[in-house]
Structure 1
Amino acid sequence: MDLIEDAIREQVNLLSEEATARLEQLIRIPTVNPPGEHYEDFVAAFDSWLRELGYDTRIVRVPEALLPILAPHAEGRSRPSVVGRMEGPAGPGLRIHLNGHYDVVPAGDDWTCDPFAGEVRNGRMYGRGAADQKSGLVMQVLAVEALRRAGVRWRGTITQSAVPDEETVGNRNAGTGFLVEEGIISRDNTDAVIITEPFGPDGIGVGHKGAIWGRVTVYGRQAHGSSPKLGVNAVELLASALHRFQSELVPKLGARLSPVEVTPTESVESTLSFDTFRGGVATNVIPARAQATFNRRLVPGETVLAARAELRVVLEDMAREHSQFRYDYEEFYTVEPILVSPDEQLPRVLADVLRRQGLQPRFLISAGSDDQRFVVHGANITNAVIYGPGQTSLAHQSDEYIDLDNLLRSTQVLALSLYQLLR
């Protein structure tokens, strides 16, 4: 029996009331993104909390000149991150960065409670961000506090960060992406990163699917609707191309499966969907232009380069077979798939702790991309996982909630894992 581990578990349990109070406080700050409301209020509260606990903190703000590039949806609002650093009492050791985002998607409709009240019912706290992912921020702070209160003399450095703009996808961003660009998260100062997104108490996030978001525009020739042979119907040409994508490419993609469990499980295969369609100006006018946007999702083992080539093959085949098929192909977001080896240090330690806590670890990748891409691809830190208390299935839902028992359970797992990593 490890008496220190018992002491850590006990301290997490004693932090139960603080966990509930802090999470309620954070949910009550409606950090809705876009456009990025009340960010400064949240950062002030989180920074104050870290300083109370003994962290050396700083607030990192995106320069105003970069806002149109990194946060084009911000409407001029500031983009601050809180970064707090604490040195271990026993000297140098592993340098661990705990990272979570504080922005939340708009609340939407159909709530049975105030989405920004942090109401507790039947052991659950409800609110926008309860699962995704303000509970993760509370977990990452209180896990370290449990070590301190248990008297653990750990070695190394723990850095905490609370960042904006995870919810607004981009090739660059004003949160974790900016911290990587500024060298605040880099291989020179960081050995391991844990991002506290919602994967559940037994889920270890070892990656995510890749993506290409893009647009296909087809050009025709306008004519009167009563004389279609005098024009070239761009809507019909684009519709034919979409049918070809569905009949020729999509079945091939469906046979490509992720080598690791995907959350949600329905997203295990490689996919392509066309999600918007625009064309024409009036019923009595042959359309000269039509446009559709697409969302291509890649499983680990695929590459953006190869996926792009497959998309272009379909379009080029259309152009060869239809002399009047003229098109533009554009991409506005790309990210390679990520798959961190389960043999890396963090997945191994977390899995071992989960088993000793009576939980069966699940190695997962996310169907959507997240800030792990900046850490793995941008900072080249492969010892990077996601571990957080919320359930992915509850993210962005009406009546989003966190099971408070799961918050404590996950906090214990993280605290015990940090103890193993920093002893």
Structure 2
Amino acid sequence: MSEKEKVMSWIDEHEQAIIEALQDIIKIPSVNPWFTDDQTITKEGEVQNYIASRLSKIGASINKWEPDPAKLAKFKDKPGYYADHKFENRPNLAATFKGTSDSGKSILLTGHIDVVKPGEGWTTPPFGGIRENNRIYGRGTVDMKGGVTAMIMAVEAIKRSGFNTKGDIIVGTVVDEEAGGMGTLDFIQQGYRADGCILTEPTGMNVAPLCRGILWGKIIIPGRSGHIEMPMGNWKTNGAVDAIDKAMIILENLKVLNKEWAVQKTHPLLPLPCQINVAQINAGEYPTSYANSAEIVFDAQYLPSEKDKNWLGGNVKQEIQEFIHQVAQLDPWLKENPPKIEWLIDADCGETSAEDPFVKCCENSLKQLAIDSKIEGTTCHTDMGWPINVGIPTINFGPGNSRAAHNSDEYLEVDELIKATKMIAMTIIDWCGISEE
């Protein structure tokens, strides 16, 4: 039996152990505190302790530390930096397996262990890790504890099968991805490097060498309140102005802009063009008063080719600001009382060439396992930007459909969990090289 056959057999024989590893970390609630004040469900540190314990038993050198925004202040204009984020009991983790030879290439396996809050509508316990109909249910099964489990267990499969790798393996689990990516910024700035990186975000088992950047913004439209049952009067002489009516002007023009973006902002590896998607509309104070102000909260995407000099979406921010300014010129009130944009999040993006040898290695792993897959970018943000910025060829690859992320009754198919574990193990063997212990 070949080395690969032994490792794949170990995975098949230990399917239950792999499932239980995922259930274990689902049962540790690790909601990013950006989403909640409930400290009973913000246990990122406990997930890291579990992972550290597991990997140290198979020979990893463990480094665990809490990111310090003060020490990262020099990156204040770069992706992932937020001066007000707190990291007490929220450590990053790096587990390193040193290779046996200089002839093997190194690999970084990375993913985030924070999740969003459960929300409403669950029919199973959100932190129960329940298995039902060959699915594992729970917050984070898809985004992205399933992928994290697969990469951990792929390494364990190689080690438990009696092999070392010629190249180094680094397993990096980070915090804070769900609120902007400061965990990965800190991880990379600690100096961790490799010849290739798999970020185990859910991709439906596709190899995704690209992700889009994401801008969250709030357009604040001024109005002037007045009794809604009375004539509005002339706004130039202190009459009422309905901010909702003015917001509708902007909304209608956003539709026009999105049609242009649908043609201009596309990528051959992406199934969707970039758009400005309206997520929230907030306006008004009383049923009997015209809205004094209105807010349009939006999510806009941008391509790696549109990044600014700081690897962020500054160019697209400017484009949107200029567009809102132009729309304001169409209305006398808005021209004199221009809307303002408050930027909330700028989550970066990245791209590795589909022809890169590491991408080809990952693609070949799936072919060897006869797993249906394709090369397709992911339409949402992932943490792949920083590894790429420092020269590490990086792909997103993981089990589960990203559309299931953040949903109630989030679940992962057991079959995909096992296949993803095999794919990552196969890539480690081919990329790093393997030797007997």
Taking structure 2 as the reference length, what is the TM-score of the superposition? Answer: 0.84
CA shift for structure 1 position 70: 4.0
Closer/same/farther in 2, CA of residues 197 and 336 from structure 1, 3 Å limit = closer
What is the deviation of 1:139? 1.3
What aligned pairs does 1:366-381 form with structure 2 within 5 A after superposition?
366-377=378-389, 380-381=390-391
Describe how 1:322-337 pairs up with structure 2 within 5 A.
Answer: 322-325=331-334, 326-327=337-338, 328-337=340-349
Shift of 1:215: 2.0
The Cα shift of 1:256 comes to 4.0
Matches within 5 A, 1:276-315: 276-299=280-303, 301-303=305-307, 304-315=313-324
Secondary structure, aligned partner of 2:114: coil
Contact map agreement 1:62 1:78 (CA 8 A) in 2:
no
Q: Deviations over 1:180-208 (max 9, x none)?
A: 2x3333xxx3222111111133x112111
- Structure 2 matches for 1:39-58, cutoff 5 A? 39-58=44-63
**Distance in 1, Cα, partners of 2:342 & 2:97:** 45
Q: What CA distance in whole angstroms lies between the structure 2 residues aligned with 1:117 and 1:222?
A: 49
Q: Over residues 322-368 of structure 1, what are the superposed CA-to-partner deviations in whole Å (9 max), with x where a residue is unaligned?
A: 34312223322224543321111221001112112112331122221
Q: 1:64 to 1:215 in 2, by over 3 A?
A: closer
Instruction: Work out the CA distance in 2 between the residues paired with 1:134 and 1:45.
Output: 13
How many residue pairs get matched? 406
Kept in 2: contact 1:15–1:142 (CA 8 A): no
- Separation in structure 1 between the aligned mates of residue 414 and residue 292 of structure 2, nearest angstrom: 56
Pick from 265, 276, 279 the counterpart of residue 272 of structure 1.
276
Decide whether aligned partners of structure 1 residues 370 and 110 sit closer, same or farther in structure 2, where only a CA change above 3 A counts.
same
Instruction: Tell me what 2:207 maps to.
Output: 204
- Does residue 243 of structure 2 align to residue 250 of structure 1? no
- Which residue does 2:78 correspond to in 1? none
2:310 corresponding residue in structure 1: none
**Partner in structure 2 of residue 393 of structure 1:** 403
Q: What is the Cα deviation at residue 381 of structure 1?
A: 2.7
Structure 1, residues 228-271: CA drift from partner, whole Å, max 9, x if none?
A: 2232513322321222222x212112234643444xx5xx1221
1:341 aligns with 2:345: no
* Alpha-carbon distance in structure 2 between the residues aligned to 1:5 and 1:64: 43
Greater CA drift, 97-106 or 50-59: 97-106
Pairing 1:97–2:108 present: yes
Question: Partner of 1:317 in structure 2?
Answer: 326
Matched, 1:38 2:49: no
Find the aligned partners of 2:355 and 2:109 in 1 and give their Cα distance: 20
Separation (CA, whole Å) in 2 of partners of 1:84 and 1:132: 21
Alpha-carbon distance in structure 1 between the residues aligned to 2:147 and 2:114? 12
Confirm whether residue 22 of structure 1 aligns to residue 33 of structure 2. no
1:219 and 2:222 correspond: yes
Match of 1:365 in 2: 377
Relative to structure 1, is the Cα distance of residues 389 and 282 closer, same or farther in structure 2, using a 3 angstrom cutoff? closer
Instruction: Decide which moves more: 62-71 or 158-167.
Output: 62-71
- Among candidates 232, 236, 251, match of residue 245 of structure 2: 236
- More deviation in 294-303 or 383-392? 294-303
After TM superposition, give the deviation of residue 396 of structure 1 in Å: 2.0
The code of the aligned residue for 2:195 comes to: D
Read off the aligned partner of 1:13 and give its amino acid letter. D
In the TM superposition, residue 80 of structure 1 has moved relative to its aligned partner by 0.8
1:39 partner amino acid: E
Tell me if structure 1 keeps the 8 A contact 2:72–2:186.
no
The one of 184, 190, 193 equivalent to 1:183 is: 190
Q: Distance in 1 between the 2:364 and 2:46 partners?
A: 38
SS at match of 1:100: strand
Q: Spell out, residue by residue over 1:149-200, the C-alpha distance to the aligned partner (whole angstroms, 9 max, x if none).
A: 33444212111112122222x2x52x212212x3333xxx322211111113
* Structure 2: segments with no counterpart, 5+ residues: 74-80, 308-312
Between 16-25 and 349-358, the greater mean CA deviation after superposition: 16-25
CA positional deviation for 1:81: 1.4
Is the CA contact (8 Å cut-off) linking 2:210 and 2:350 kept in structure 1? yes
- The answer as to whether partners of 1:192 and 1:381 remain within 8 angstroms in 2 is no
Q: Is the 1:335–1:373 contact (alpha carbons within 8 Å) kept by the matching residues of 2?
A: no
User: C-alpha separation between the residues in 2 aligned to 1:143 and 1:350?
Assistant: 14
Deviating more after overlay: 272-281 vs 40-49: 272-281
Distance in 2 (CA, whole Å) between partners of 1:124 and 1:282 is 47
Q: Does 1:406 align with 2:416?
A: yes
Counterparts of 1:108 and 1:218, CA distance in 2: 30
Residues 1:78 and 2:89 are matched in the alignment: yes
Q: CA deviation at 1:220?
A: 4.1
- Give yes or no for contact 2:267–2:273 (8 Å, CA) kept in 1: no
Equivalent position SS for 2:165? coil
Task: Please identify, of 121-130 and 328-337, the stretch whose mean Cα deviation from structure 2 is larger.
Answer: 328-337
CA distance in structure 1 between the partners assigned to 2:122 and 2:222 by the alignment:
44
Superposition pairs of residues 139-178 of structure 1, within 5 angstroms: 139-168=150-179, 170=180, 172-173=181-182, 175-178=183-186
Task: Tell me: CA distance 1:375–1:231, structure 2 relative to 1, closer, same or farther (3 Å).
Answer: farther
Shift of the 279–120 alpha-carbon distance from structure 1 to 2, 3 Å rule, reads: closer
Larger strand percent:
1
The alpha-carbon deviation at position 52 of structure 1 amounts to 0.8
- Higher mean C-alpha displacement, 156-165 vs 106-115: 106-115
In 1, Cα distance between the equivalents of 2:410 and 2:298? 28
TM-score with structure 1 length normalisation?
0.86
Q: Is the 8 Å Cα contact of residues 199 and 391 (structure 1) preserved in structure 2? A: yes
Identity %: 23
Q: Aligned equivalents of 1:136 and 1:318: distance in 2? A: 44
1:99 Cα deviation (Å)? Answer: 0.6
Displacement after TM superposition at 1:58 (Å): 1.5
2:277 and 2:3 map into 1 onto residues whose CA distance is 51
1:28, CA displacement in angstroms? 1.1
Give the 3 Å change call, closer, same or farther, for CA 90–198 of structure 1 in structure 2. same
